[in-house]
């Protein structure tokens, strides 16, 4: 699976998303300009010690991203509050891409208009503008992984027996 962040602005969100990507074996694609330097301590703190294990690529712009990931043109979903379809209406494939826009403005309208059929949204109640970016990524990413049987992921845990005196 591939998560694409278009011009992310908040280092803590990107760090949290990076940690989710490491925990799920997902590639992270960051499209510049970024609202922070990638070596800032905030992003490392949010990603904790996982950041060094992250499969991440940074692109100079969206054209650079598409040039280096031609499959993304045919296998991309665009997360937006403006979509007609929910993220549950989609049948995700293991190598799909899911793009999220910057925190202050989302994905530009011209990109959404060109890709209206593959725009997806997370349903919300009331007039709230949007969910936090890292929460939105986690919700949609885990749906996509679930549809693919959580392939190669650890599905069980183990409780340790405690003795009480």
| Any domain includes 44 | yes
The residue-averaged pLDDT of 143-150 equals 95
Residue-wise pLDDT for 79-112, tens only, equals 999 999 999 999 999 999 999 999 999 999 999 9
| Any domain includes 158 | no
| Any domain includes 165 | no
For the record, the structure tokens of 102 come out as 């910057």
Nearest alpha-carbon partner for 18 in 115, 123, 133, 165: 133
| Any domain includes 113 | yes
| Any domain includes 70 | yes
- The pLDDT value recorded for residue 8 is 97
| Any domain includes 134 | yes
Residue-wise pLDDT for 31-45, tens only, equals 999 998 876 666 666
Q: How many domains does the chain have?
A: 1
Q: Residue 59 sits in a domain of what CATH number?
A: 3.40.1280.10
Instruction: Look over the chain and give the mean of its residue pLDDT values, rounded to a whole number.
Output: 92
Q: Is 46 helix (H, G, I), strand (E, B) or coil?
A: helix
Residue 150 DSSP code:
T
Domain that holds residue 62: 2-147
Higher pLDDT pick, 49 / 143: 143
Residue-wise pLDDT for 112-135, tens only, equals 999 999 999 999 998 888 999 999
Asked if residue 122 belongs to a known ligand binding site, the reply is: yes
Q: Which residues pair with 2 in a beta bridge?
A: 27, 97
Nearest alpha-carbon partner for 13 in 116, 109, 95, 102: 102
| Any domain includes 32 | yes
């Amino acid at each position: 699976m591939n998560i694409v962040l278009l011009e992310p602005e908040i280092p803590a969100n990107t760090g949290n998303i990076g940690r989710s990507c490491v925990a799920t074996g997902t590639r992270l694609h960051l499209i510049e300009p970024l609202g922070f330097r990638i070596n800032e301590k905030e992003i490392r703190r949010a990603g904790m010690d996982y950041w060094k294990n992250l499969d991440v690529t940074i692109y100079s712009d969206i054209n650079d991203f598409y040039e280096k990931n031609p499959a993304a043109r045919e296998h991309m979903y665009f997360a937006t509050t403006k979509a007609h379809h929910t993220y549950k209406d989609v049948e995700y494939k293991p190598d799909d891409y899911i793009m999220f826009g910057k925190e202050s403005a989302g994905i530009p309208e011209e990109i959404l208009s060109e890709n209206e059929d593959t725009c997806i949204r997370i349903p919300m109640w009331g007039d709230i503008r949007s969910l936090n970016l890292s929460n939105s990524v986690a919700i949609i990413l885990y749906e996509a992984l679930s549809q693919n049987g959580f392939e190669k992921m650890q599905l069980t845990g183990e409780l340790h027996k405690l003795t009480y005196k």
